[in-house]
């Protein structure tokens, strides 16, 4: 299947592609770049309690800017994910440390990238011959570009699809942005780690709108 055939099957591709990057969505004016749980509590109008600190920043994507929330531990990540989506907190595998979250604030739809500082796919640094500090930074960069890719397909093509190829493409962009190239052996390490921790279920391994 060619790229054109794949996109035609999965997405409604516009005949005339827009100029990139797209304009920021209107909800961006409500967000500020801060290190504050208080800011989110005020934005949502309800109290947020976390164990550690969070950082709010912005990511420039081909589809416009997005607010990015960084957490420092997995428990805060799962708490905040449930809080942002107004859902009951659920235990998430340690391989899951990124979400592209659809949220509603004051009746207005928002899109938020929620990222946790942890090794990508819970892979130890030595597996990739990296230091722990270097792998931590690279893991964050991969997640950021991966989730940005999902947001770009949402705005450009009208959706985020639950297909293995979408995940591979998003990981490819993450690898290129972080390492400067795509390495198939590196990708196999990513997928094998997710497979082991997700008990071999593709339905869980490649869920819509979140990654490692």
CA dist., res. 171 & res. 145, Å (int): 8
CA dist., res. 114 & res. 100, Å (int): 6
- Convert 37-89 into a string of H (helix), E (strand) and C (coil): HHHHHHHHCCCCCCCCCEEEEEEEECCEEEEEEEECCHHHHHHHHHHHCCCCC
| Percent of the chain surpassing pLDDT 90 | 66
Provide the mean pLDDT of the chain: 87
Could you tell me which of 76, 74, 113, 68 has the C-alpha nearest to residue 97?
74
Q: What range defines the domain where residue 132 resides?
A: 3-211
Check if the beta carbon of residue 114 is closer than 8 Å to that of residue 101: yes
Edge-to-edge, what's the strand order for the sheet holding 54-61?
Answer: 54-61, 64-71, 108-116, 98-105, 210-211
CA dist., res. 95 & res. 78, Å (int): 12
Per-residue pLDDT tens over the stretch 19-59: 999 999 999 999 999 999 999 999 999 999 999 999 999 99
Cα separation values, 197 from 96, 136, 177, 190, 191, Å: 10, 19, 26, 11, 10
Check if the beta carbon of residue 164 is closer than 8 Å to that of residue 202: yes
**Tokens 């639950």 — which residue?**
162
Residue 111 has pLDDT above 90, yes or no: yes
Higher pLDDT, 193 or 73: 73
Domain total in the chain: 1
Task: Tell me the pTM.
Answer: 0.85
Mean pLDDT confidence for 11-18: 78
């Amino acid at each position: 299947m060619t790229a054109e055939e794949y996109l035609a099957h999965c997405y409604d591709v516009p005949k005339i592609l827009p100029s990139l990057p797209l304009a920021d969505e209107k909800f961006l004016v409500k967000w500020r770049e801060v290190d504050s749980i208080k800011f989110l509590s005020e934005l949502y109008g309800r109290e947020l309690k976390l164990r550690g600190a969070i950082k709010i920043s912005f990511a420039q994507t081909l589809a416009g800017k997005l607010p990015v929330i960084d957490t420092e531990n997995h428990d805060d990540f799962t708490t905040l994910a449930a809080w942002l989506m107004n859902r009951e907190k659920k235990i998430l595998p340690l391989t899951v440390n990124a979400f592209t979250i659809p949220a509603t604030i004051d009746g207005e739809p928002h899109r938020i990238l929620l990222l946790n500082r942890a090794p990508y796919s819970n892979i130890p640094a030595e597996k990739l011959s990296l230091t722990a500090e270097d792998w931590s930074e690279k893991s964050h960069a991969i997640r950021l570009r991966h989730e940005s890719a999902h947001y770009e397909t949402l705005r450009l093509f009208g959706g985020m699809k639950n297909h293995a190829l979408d995940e591979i493409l998003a990981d490819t962009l993450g690898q290129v942005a972080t390492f400067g190239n795509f390495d198939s052996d590196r990708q196999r390490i990513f997928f094998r780690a997710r497979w082991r921790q997700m008990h071999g279920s593709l339905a869980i391994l490649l869920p819509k709108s979140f990654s490692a």
